[in-house]
Amino acid sequence: METTLIILKPDAVQRGLMGRIITRFEEKGLQIVGTKLMVISQDLAAKHYESHKGKPFYDGLVKFMTSAPVLVLAVRGIGAIAISRKMMGATFGSKAEPGTIRGDFGVSNSFNLIHGSDSPEAAERELSLFFASGEVINHDRAVDRWVYDSSGGKPE
């Protein structure tokens, strides 16, 4: 099982898309194991986006991400990182395929609704920035036996 960080950005929250987006993750079979509605501080945004510091879009990105509440999620499942990124779609809504979150809800090349960790290392780092110890909950779901085929002895 992998756990990844998903952030529903200010545009998703302001447009009232939180429920519709969370539903997509749950309907896919992924498990929500942490949530937090928050306004990201300047310091936290700087830490989260430190790899982009110095790039032309950095200041605007930090300003956008701190401008209004976001919904931070910890999402778990087998292959959760790759699955979530595929569900999100291409970075720019204008280029994202229909059926993806950005493709269905976005047209902007600046406001792109959602962030998802791009690797296990990034997920671990990002989750630790947004969730304190104990805030990501480990719990069994009865539905997992219908989400993952374990007939071979290992869930797949």
Could you write out the DSSP letters of every residue in 66-123? Answer: TSS-EEEEEEEETTHHHHHHHHH-SSSTTTSPTTSHHHHH---SS---EEE-SSHHHH
The catalytic position among 48, 52, 115, 139 is 115
* Structure tokens belonging to residue 70: 């976001």
In the β-sheet with 31-38, what is the strand arrangement from edge to edge? 31-38, 70-77, 2-8, 114-116
* Cα-based angle 98, 83, 13 (whole degrees, multiple of 5): 65
- Is 40:103 a contact under the CB 8 Å cutoff? no
Residue type, 41: S
Tell me, yes or no, if 115 is annotated catalytic.
yes
* Structure tokens belonging to residue 147: 């989400």
Q: Which residues are catalytic?
A: 115
